[in-house]
Amino acid sequence: MKKVLIVTYYYPPSPPVGGVRPSKFARFLSEFGWEPIVLAVADPTATEALTPNANVEVYRVSEWPHPLKTYYRIMEQRAQKRGRVEEFMLQMSPRYVVAMSRPKRGIARVKRWLVSFMRLPDEELGWLIPAILKGIKLIREKKITHLVTTAPPFTSQLVGLAIKRFTGVRWVADFRDPWSLRDKYTASGNRITDALELRLIRSVMKFADIVLSVSSPMTEQLKKEHPDLDPDKFVTLTNGFDPSDFASLQHSRPMSGQTLFSYIGEFAYGRTPATFLRALKSLIDDGTLNRAEVRVKFVGTVAFAEGQSVTEMVRSFGLEEIVSMEPLVPRRQALQRALESQVLLVLTEQHSFALTFKLFDALAAGATILNIGSKGAVADVLAKTGRGIAVEHTNVAEIRNGILECIKRSRSGEGQRSPEPWNDPSIQAFNFQCLTRELAKILNGLDEKTSGLDRREGATDANAKPDGLGGAVA
């Protein structure tokens, strides 16, 4: 069985959702003739959020301390002692960070330059050297021929770049989010770091044998940004779901009574429930909806959104009786919350390229999906599957209509598709078993490409005269 090294910063039992994709690939690759070996960060905060695959070899290496991460940790501890956690969280929000990244003078400008270097390419840079050394060792000791790296964090791709250059393995660089200066949420650090980062991006795209991305728009954008590279090296392989994650959960979704809208995850950069809450309030204020008809639940890292307290946001709209919040829960419990919801919210306001895991969990859970975003990749999937509604995040009237349509659908037969919605034939293209089959084909294709190249080079060499001997032999 051929061997592939999967380099991923996050991996179960670490809770971040970034570990789901590589763990599912690792789970199914052996079914298609590949033995996965995983290299991940040593995470002392790991919980039972995800159960690692017992039959997969996993190697973990600790990251070196990073000045910024150490600073943030100390500041958070101080904020907790002083009872000022909310102020600290607001200062870590995108709106505040963007404001603080605007041009500065004097010592503030020097500080900004230093921080920009420490964020190149991200704050996980302390993992770079340990992961490179361990990766090269594993490649040589275990005779591994192929490499898959997944990002973010983008440090993982620099690990892959170094391993590729030192060992010559066939390399698939996998992007769950785009790596581009124009997609950064803060202002650029300085011209030097911007130039360095562009050079790093260019090197990864050039030396990777295949560049995977999770959506077709992201793939097309990469082709446009690198027009001189072979367009065939840019391939789409979406995120997905694993039916086994749902099989042992309770599936009971009432079709009458209150309609439960749930958002499960994190109000990360560019994601806020503000326009959804504004539209919901307007429906209640004009009598279109009765307060008793609907409930909203935010589950996860949802205390703050875009520099605002979500609790204060809810209070400002007068929706305290309707909206409830629940802190981060293990993935298994999060999936149970999805199964209990009639409508699942997917927010993609500034993420038109992204195909978030929330979408595929929602598809497998069988709920009606309301995508509030910018009519991007998520909207395309909903149009193809007919499993939800996409509305423009700046258009309150559209969001109002979307809420009403979702309530209507959730109370119809669509709201209770089958006892096992994850087995619906219309979404099996997103089953991780099917997606991993495609990854195996890509890895096999690299072998075929290399074999063909070797044969061509061999034919050329056979027809050539020995260097330095032409005409000397009679």
Q: What is the pLDDT of residues 58-71, one digit of tens each?
A: 999 999 987 777 76
Q: Do 294 and 415 reside in the same domain of the chain?
A: yes
Report the sign of the C-alpha dihedral through residues 301, 305, 308, 309, in that order.
Answer: negative
* 20 membership: H or E segment, kind and range: helix 20-28
Cα 215 to Cα 259: distance, rounded to the nearest angstrom: 31
Q: Say if residue 356 is in the same domain as residue 444.
A: no
User: In this model, does residue 423 exceed pLDDT 60?
Assistant: yes
- pLDDT of the residue at 416: 55
Taking residue 427's Cβ as centre, other Cβ atoms within 10 Å add up to 20
Q: Which two tokens stand for residue 201?
A: 């991006």
Same domain for 263 and 184: no
**Confidence label for 87 from pLDDT (cuts 50, 70 and 90):** low
Whether 293 and 414 share a structural domain: yes
Percent of the chain with pLDDT over 90: 58
* 228 and 157 within one domain: yes
Bridge pairing between strands 57-61 and 34-41? parallel
Same domain, 283 and 204: no
The residue with greater pLDDT, 189 or 232, is: 232
Domain span at residue 412?
A: 244-423
Contact, 347 vs 273, CB < 8 A?
yes
Token couple for 474:
């009679």
Q: What is the DSSP letter of 321?
A: T
Q: Identify the band that residue 444 occupies on the pLDDT scale cut at 50, 70 and 90.
A: very high
Q: Are residues 299 and 437 in the same domain?
A: no
Q: Is the pTM of this model over 0.75?
A: yes
Tell me how many domains the chain contains.
Answer: 2
The answer on 303 and 203 residing in a single domain is no
Provide the pairing of β-strand 304-305 with 308-309: antiparallel
Q: 337 and 447: one domain?
A: no
CATH number at residue 29: 3.40.50.2000
Strands (E) located in 100-238:
146-151, 170-175, 210-213, 234-236
Residue 363 is which amino acid? Answer: L
Only one residue has tokens 């230093």, namely 114
pLDDT for 320-348, tens place per residue? 999 999 998 988 999 999 999 999 999 98
For residues 60 and 76, state if they share a domain.
Answer: yes
Please report where in the chains the tokens 């099989």 appear, as a residue.
Answer: 247
Is 369 in the same domain as 234?
Answer: no
Helix, strand, or coil (residue 93): coil
pLDDT, position 357: 86
Q: How far is CA 61 from CA 120, 122, 228, 281, in A?
A: 20, 18, 36, 49
Same domain, 161 and 251: no
213, 234 contact by CB (below 8 A): yes
